[in-house]
Amino acid sequence: MQPPHEAQTDIPVPRTRLTRVAGIFALGLLLWQICTGHDPAGWVLGLPAAAIFTYIAVKNAASPRHPLRLRALPPFLLYFLTQSFRSGLDVAHRALHPEREINPGFCTYAARLPEGTPQAVFANMISLLPGTLSWSLVDGVHKVHLLSGHPLVLEELAQLESRVGKLFGIELSEDLI
């Protein structure tokens, strides 16, 4: 016989959250597999890495105010791959042509995205652009390190910001670009 009004100690986790966490963990395992190959010994580090990946992804998931738009993900991934390829070519060209001018410096970019996940994703994606590195983010202003004073860097940052905005269903007005 159970005592009356006994406190429930097992709090059920909604299946949707559990399914989402399992999916993120599976994605972490898949990424580890892609990066390290088929060596079974690699799973000694791969399982903890996937667990850490899952924890960080769940903790930093998009807020309900700015949910990720899955429909916007394929075009963004294509853009991501294209920019990664361009950046790789830029690095290779600089390595093979050391006479190419390198004039490092900084620029600032005041982002129009709201704070939180959209702003963090944008900050992390800045380094995709050839010759750029996200240096800091303070009060919505990004400080970007440049390998050379590329004249179109501000346009490219605005285009990247717009694409990140679309990932979260945020339309940025074109007149500010």
CB 58 within 8 A of CB 21: yes
What is the reported pLDDT for 13? 46
Report how far residue 63's alpha carbon sits from residue 110's, in angstroms, rounded to the nearest whole number: 22
Indicate the average pLDDT of the chain.
82
pLDDT truncated to tens, each residue of the chain (177 aa)?
A: 555 555 444 555 455 778 888 888 888 888 888 878 778 888 888 898 888 878 877 776 655 677 888 899 899 999 988 988 888 898 888 888 888 777 888 999 999 999 888 888 899 899 888 888 899 989 889 999 988 877 788 999 999 999 999 998 998 876 544
Kindly list the domain boundaries of the chain, sorted by start residue. 15-59, 70-176
Pick from 89, 86, 105: which is nearest to 97 by CA?
Answer: 89
What is the reported pLDDT for 109? 94
Return the DSSP state at 105.
Answer: E
Tokens representing 9 are 């100690």
Global model pTM greater than 0.75 = no
Pick from 28, 31, 32, 36: which is nearest to 55 by CA?
Answer: 28
Give backbone dihedrals phi and psi of 106, rounded to 5 degrees, phi first: -130, 155
What is the reported pLDDT for 143? 94
CB 72 within 8 A of CB 167: yes
